[in-house]
Amino acid sequence: MLKSYNYNCLINYRNIEHTTHRLNAKTFNKEKTKMNIREAAMAYEPKGKTLNIAELEQIPVDLEVTKETHTDKEGKAFTIQVFEYQGNKYRVPATVLEGLKGILNKFPNTKFFSVLKQGTGINTNYQVIPVTATEEIKIE
């Protein structure tokens, strides 16, 4: 028989919405110290995850790009360029900026582009593809 606990939050397993408190990777709500692994997994929300630009179907060319400094496993600092779009942060590799520059030089009226990612890790290659007016995908 399972014990039921009176937690001060309700978990909607489809939307993972919490009515009173959210959990993060390091700390649990002080009022809610007991939960099973399933509940902890469903409540988990990673903090500060930066997604890859290739995960988007199309990207507007007029987004504001900022620089962020991070540290690697050895503690060395490195800088990446990111933009925020639809509530998420996306990393912009230098090769994508280089490819987009070439497209914008040739087609200055380009409003959207797409990125095709091939490979993994240090062997990752990005191909920048302009999205024409007839190919534009409606973003909600």
Q: Which DSSP string corresponds to 7-38?
A: -SS-B-TTT--BSS----SS---TT-----HH
Q: What secondary structure letter does DSSP report for 107?
A: -
Q: How confident is the model at residue 97 (pLDDT cuts 50, 70, 90)?
A: very high
Instruction: Report if pTM > 0.85.
Output: no
Tell me which residue of 44, 52, 22, 25 sits closest to 121, measured CA to CA.
52
Using one digit for the tens of pLDDT, what is the confidence trace for 37-82?
Answer: 888 888 777 666 889 999 999 999 999 999 999 888 899 999 999 9
Q: How far separated are the first and last CA of the chain, in Å rounded?
A: 46
Kindly provide the b/e burial profile for residues 71-89, where b requires at least 16 CB atoms within 10 angstroms of the residue's own CB. Answer: eeeeeeeeeebbbebeeee
One-letter amino acid of 84 = E
Average pLDDT, the chain: 76
Residue 99 reports pLDDT greater than 90: yes
Q: How confident is the model at residue 122 (pLDDT cuts 50, 70, 90)?
A: confident
